[in-house]
Structure 1
Amino acid sequence: MVKFSDIKGFVFDLDGVVTDTSKYHAEAWGQLATKLNIDYPGIGDAVKGIGRMDALELILKKGGVENDYTPEQKEALATEKNTNYVQLIQNMTAKDILPGMADFLKSLRDNGYGISLASASRNAPTILAKIGLSDYFTKTVDPANLKNGKPDPEIFIKGAQLLNLDPSQCIGLEDAVAGIQGINAAGEVSVGIGDPQMLNKAAINFIDTTQVTLDNIKKAMA
């Protein structure tokens, strides 16, 4: 078992951990699904934590039309969804930071911990700028350079590499099952934020972001 004293860095997911953009993603995917005449009531939960193209495939399969589009047409559909999403996030501000996360990030920086971002969102830089947290995330994995999406551990391994740390020296924070699987596979300590039954593979679980503090993590790892 990794000791808290071994931890030197924290690798963050963005959506549902630092800020809640899942509602904007769900709305943007919903707009696309409606256009394609696909009825998908649970679309928000289904696409949570996975990459854009993987999410599109899920939606097309739901409608039974996954073979009706060429790779180029699928790319165009994903781009259309992103255009919808970018329009929706333009009004985000610091008020969209999840409760307690600004204080947590400050405590990490004040105590000398490395911080990196491991988000599948290609819009992460825009979102961080909108909510005023860009200065904390100068180390950000570029999802465009990844070969595999979550639950593959690649993005979390790269998040540790950006901090010049071994994954075993890092804690990963996620709110999605696929993300927790990726963190565990990377060999990092997983912190799940949300329903403990859904995130039952996380090494540490907090119901919401208000519980995420250095002291609480230290206690959980004692």
Structure 2
Amino acid sequence: MQQPVVQGFLFDLHGVIADSWQYHLASWRAIADELHIPWTDHLTAVLPGMSRADSLETILAAGKQQAAFTAAQRQSLTDHENALYKQYVAELTPANRLPGVTAFLDEIVAAGYPMALASASTNAPAEIAHLGLTGYFTHIVPAGSLKASKPAPDVYLAAAGLLGLPPERCVAFEDTVTGVQAARAAGCLTIGINSQPLPGVTAQLTSTQELSLAAVRRVLSQPIGSSKSL
């Protein structure tokens, strides 16, 4: 059976374009410390890819404090985390781009493929600006418009819509389990970028250093063609 023709590329932000999850984890760790909830390797492993609300619930569950906070108090805590994270975002520079990303984006542009940023973070436009990538990502999903965060498919359906393409004609790049679930639920071909196996991916690369159109063609077994067909 012939595979779908690839016509566009959709990128997660944290862990794919820049290693900014470390800053979210630092912010959440500060919140956990304030709540006297011990930080664990499990939290470090499971929080990447989660929404802000889900991250808080996971931390509260780890400390058995789910019943200790009202909805208003939860909102205050997530707002506090966001404020802490924004301090880190302000310090981002092009040097925070992950290895190989710039060359890959240049290759995509030169080949004439459209691309969009599929991040559920409301801070995504600011992060892209600090990374010096605004010229590449003229299509960024407005996170505030999403009804559900990953692993729901909303962000990838929206990103494909920004390109005017059906999701099955798009390749999504993800580094987390929840992100992969979202991309696959939307119908995208999904390339995982992680040194550890990501269930459900169409194909996987171990790091962003491996990113290239040739690598995409190889792992997806797509024929080499124009910008309308890999």
| Same fold (TM > 0.5) | yes
2:207 counterpart letter in structure 1: D
2:117 counterpart letter in structure 1: L
> Could you say if the C-alpha distance between residues 44 and 160 of structure 1 is closer, same or farther in structure 2, counting changes exceeding 3 Å?
same
Q: CA deviation at 1:8?
A: 0.9
**Counterpart Cα distance in 2 of 1:137 and 1:75:** 30
Matched residue, 1:205: 204
For 1:177-211, what per-residue CA distance to the aligned partner results, in whole angstroms no more than 9, with x for missing partners? Answer: 011111111111000000342x1321110000011
For 1:78-135, what per-residue CA distance to the aligned partner results, in whole angstroms no more than 9, with x for missing partners? Answer: 0001111111222211110001101111111111111111112211111111110011
- Count the aligned residue pairs: 220
Superposition map of 1:28-177 within 5 A: 28-42=27-41, 43-177=43-177
Q: CA deviation at 1:39?
A: 0.7
Q: Which runs of 5+ in 1 are unaligned?
A: none
2:191 is the counterpart of 1:187: no
1:217 counterpart letter in structure 2: V
1:66 counterpart letter in structure 2: Q
Please tell me whether the aligned partners of residues 2 and 168 of structure 1 are also in contact (alpha carbons under 8 angstroms).
no
**Counterpart Cα distance in 1 of 2:167 and 2:141:** 14
Matched residue, 2:214: 215
**Counterpart Cα distance in 2 of 1:62 and 1:120:** 24
> Could you say if the C-alpha distance between residues 166 and 2 of structure 1 is closer, same or farther in structure 2, counting changes exceeding 3 Å?
farther
Matched residue, 1:26: 25
Q: CA deviation at 1:3?
A: 3.5
Please tell me whether the aligned partners of residues 49 and 120 of structure 1 are also in contact (alpha carbons under 8 angstroms).
no
Give the stretch that moved more between structures: 100-109 or 12-21.
Answer: 100-109
Q: CA deviation at 1:2?
A: 5.9
Q: Which runs of 5+ in 2 are unaligned?
A: 222-230
Please tell me whether the aligned partners of residues 94 and 132 of structure 1 are also in contact (alpha carbons under 8 angstroms).
yes
Matched residue, 2:224: none
**Counterpart Cα distance in 2 of 1:39 and 1:204:** 36
**Counterpart Cα distance in 2 of 1:91 and 1:2:** 46
SS of the equivalent of 2:171 reads: strand
Please tell me whether the aligned partners of residues 25 and 85 of structure 1 are also in contact (alpha carbons under 8 angstroms).
yes
Q: Percent identity?
A: 35
